Amino acid sequence: LAVAELRDAVGLRSESVRRANLSAILRELHISGPLSRSELVSRTGLTRSAIRGLIGEFVSAGLAFEEPAAHLGSPGRPSPVVRPIPDQATVLALEVAVDSLAAACVGLGGDVLSRVRVDRPRGHFAPEEITADLARLARRILRPWRDSVIGIGTAVVGVVRRSDGFVSVAPNLGWDDVPLGDLLAAGLKTDLPISVANEGDLGALAELRRGAARRASDVLFISGEVGVGGGLIVGGKPLTGAAGYAGEVGHLGVNPAGQLCRCGSVGCWETEVGERALLTSAGHAPDGGREEIEAVLREAAAGSPVAAAAVDSAGHWIGIGLAGLVNVFNPELVVLGGLLGRLHPFVDSIIERELDQRALRAPRRLVRVVPASLGLDAPLLGAAELAFEPLLADPARWLGPREVRAAAG
Ligand SMILES: [Zn+2]
């Protein structure tokens, strides 16, 4: 190598190291909130002087500021605290759920700056109609932060190809082969990057970063309403499969003698633990939705044998499905969301008993089953995390002057 080439190679390498270090710091600040310089040193393994220089880049770009730390009783000099500035980089998060549409503006660091959720009647609606409704919600909440939005994340109750936000099927919406990413770009009249993913996957991401599964690395997030979806985190990374279709645990075959599933198969897990199964066996209208579910739980708590049997049966089938998943994935944590999270306090002992009887001893001992902690908003918050990902992965693209930032978007 000629000397000049060598110098270029070293320069490129140090530039890629700088970018990776910026990413590590911003990710820590975004996920953990304000941190002292010393905490950043210990979390990233970077030197004190490297941290100082890199923090300076975020401060001059307006993404963070430093405040002098008060003495906290620890020895040594107090370390300045670095805070992300939420409204300098924001994302628009959208959600198409079974019963509702939602939009939120979320700032760097995870602060929800504004949020709206509206009920929608169940049933089949044209994708153009839904995207127009989402665009209206977005306009309602976004006005003060419009100039700081760096991306858009969308959670949808369907099977999604991540690369372009193409929804291959969404039975609850009656959608087949819908280019949702393109429709949103047109509906929102934007050229900002738009990511779309399945709501189960995004609920898992949110619970992992900000909810019940913080700092866990092998987690099954399983959420049920009409359908049952899953987000599987393996070794700290979401399991996507070849194209993003992985995690459809609702269609795990558990009962060959069971009911016909919406997917065309028979005895899928969701035909035993989904909303319709619970409502039907409790003698309620199968399409009654959340209100009817709450009625069944009230009846069960009040001692109705029919309602209690329906709830117990759901618990039994939740345990059967989980036992198989625990054997395959060896998770440290199973987080139950939506209907399954709501059922958990009623059936936790049944689930534990099924796991004792059916799961292999070693993985069974390691696993804990807990309800989700972010509630209904988990997928929406996960959509925000998805939209932040390009910034977190390579913040250097946003650190230039404003024109460069616009081009990076
Ligand atoms: Zn199925």
3-state secondary structure the chain: CCHHHHHHHHHHHHHHHHHHHHHHHHHHHHHHCCEEHHHHHHHHCCCHHHHHHHHHHHHHCCCEEEECCCCCCCCCCCCCEEEECHHHCEEEEEEECCCEEEEEEEECCCCEEEEEEEECCCCCCCHHHHHHHHHHHHHHHHHHHHHHEEEEEEEECCEEECCCCEEEEECCCCEEEEEHHHHHHHHHCCCCCEEEEEHHHHHHHHHHHHCCCCCCCCEEEEEECCCEEEEEEECCEECCCCCCCCCCHHHCECCCCCCECCCCCECEHHHHHCHHHHHHHCCCCCCCHHHHHHHHHHHHHCCCHHHHHHHHHHHHHHHHHHHHHHHHHCCCEEEEEHHHHHHHHHHHHHHHHHHHHHCCHHHHHHCEEEECCCHHHHHHHHHHHHHHHHHHHCHHHHCCCHHHHHHHC
Measured in Å, residue 338 CA sits from the centre of ligand 1 at: 18
Rounded-to-integer distance, Cα 211 and Cα 205, Å: 9
What is the Å distance from ligand 1's center to 258 Cα? 11
pLDDT tens column, 187-238: 999 999 999 999 888 998 999 999 999 889 999 999 888 889 888 999 988 8
Q: Select from 377, 361, 322, 366 the least CA-distant residue to 344.
A: 322
Residue whose structure tokens are 């320069």: 11
Q: How far is the CA of 328 from the centre of ligand 1 (A)?
A: 19
CA–centroid distance, residue 155 to ligand 1 (Å):
21
Alpha-carbon Rg for the chain in angstroms: 23
Neighbours of 247 (CB within 10 A): 23
The CA distance from 20 to 395, in Å, is 9
For residue 256, how far is its CA from the centre of ligand 1 (angstroms)? 11
By the 8 A CB rule, do 167 and 210 touch?
no
Do residues 105 and 150 touch, judged by C-beta distance below 8 A? no
CA of 245 to the centre of ligand 1 (A): 14
Between 60-74, 167-181, 275-289, 367-381, the lowest mean confidence (pLDDT) is in 60-74
| 160: phi then psi, degrees, rounded to nearest 5 | -125, 140
**The pLDDT value given to residue 368:** 97
- Do residues 90 and 107 lie in contact, with contact meaning Cβ atoms separated by under 8 Å? yes
Give me ligand 1 centre to Cα 13, in Å: 49
For ligand 1, the distance from its centroid to the CA atom of residue 273, given in whole angstroms, is: 12
Q: What is the dihedral of CA 9, 11, 15, 20, to 10 degrees?
A: 60
Q: Where residue 1 falls among pLDDT bands split at 50, 70, 90?
A: low
Task: Decide if 67 contacts 83 (C-beta within 8 A).
Answer: yes
Mean pLDDT of the chain: 91
Residue 353 and residue 308: Cα distance in Å, rounded? Answer: 17
64 forms bridges with which residues in the sheet?
84
Å from CA of 255 to ligand 1 middle:
11
Residue 401 CA to residue 92 CA, distance in Å, equals 22
CA of 170 to the centre of ligand 1 (A): 12
d(CA 355, ligand 1 centre) in Å: 23
In angstroms, what is the span from residue 280 Cα to ligand 1's centroid? Answer: 18
Q: How far is the CA of 229 from the centre of ligand 1 (A)?
A: 11
Distance 320 CA to ligand 1 centre (A): 16
Q: How far is the CA of 268 from the centre of ligand 1 (A)?
A: 5
- Sort residue 163 into left (φ over 0), alpha (ψ -120 to 50) or beta: alpha
* Phi, psi torsion values for 166, nearest 5 degrees: -90, 120
- How far does the centroid of ligand 1 lie from the alpha carbon of residue 271, in Å? 7
Distance 74 CA to ligand 1 centre (A): 56
Judge whether 262 and 211 are in contact, CB under 8 Å.
no
What residues are neighbours of ligand 1 (ion), with CB under 5 Å? 251, 261, 263, 265, 268
> Looking at residues 302-327, what average pLDDT do you find?
97
Q: How far is the CA of 277 from the centre of ligand 1 (A)?
A: 13
Tell me the CA–centroid distance for residue 263 and ligand 1, in Å: 4
Ligand 1 centroid – CA 43 distance (Å): 43
Q: What are residue 112's DSSP bridge partners? A: 106
CA of 361 to the centre of ligand 1 (A): 29
CA of 39 to the centre of ligand 1 (A): 47
| Share above pLDDT 90 across residues of the chain, in percent, rounded to a whole number | 72
> What interhelical angle do 48-60 and 37-44 show, nearest 10?
110
pLDDT confidence bin for 406, thresholds 50/70/90: very low
Q: Could you tell me the distance, in angstroms and rounded to a whole number, from the CA of residue 321 to the centre of ligand 1?
A: 13
Tens digit of each residue's pLDDT (9 = 90 or more) over 4-58: 777 777 777 788 899 999 999 999 999 999 999 999 999 999 999 999 999 999 9
Alpha carbon distances (Å) from 165 to 182, 188, 194, 218, 338: 8, 15, 8, 26, 24
Residue with tokens 């075959």: 253
Query: What pLDDT, in 10s, does the model give residues 112-153?
Result: 999 999 988 877 889 999 999 999 999 999 988 889 999 999
Share of the chain above pLDDT 70, in %: 95
Could you tell me how far CA 77 lies from the centroid of its own chain?
Answer: 39
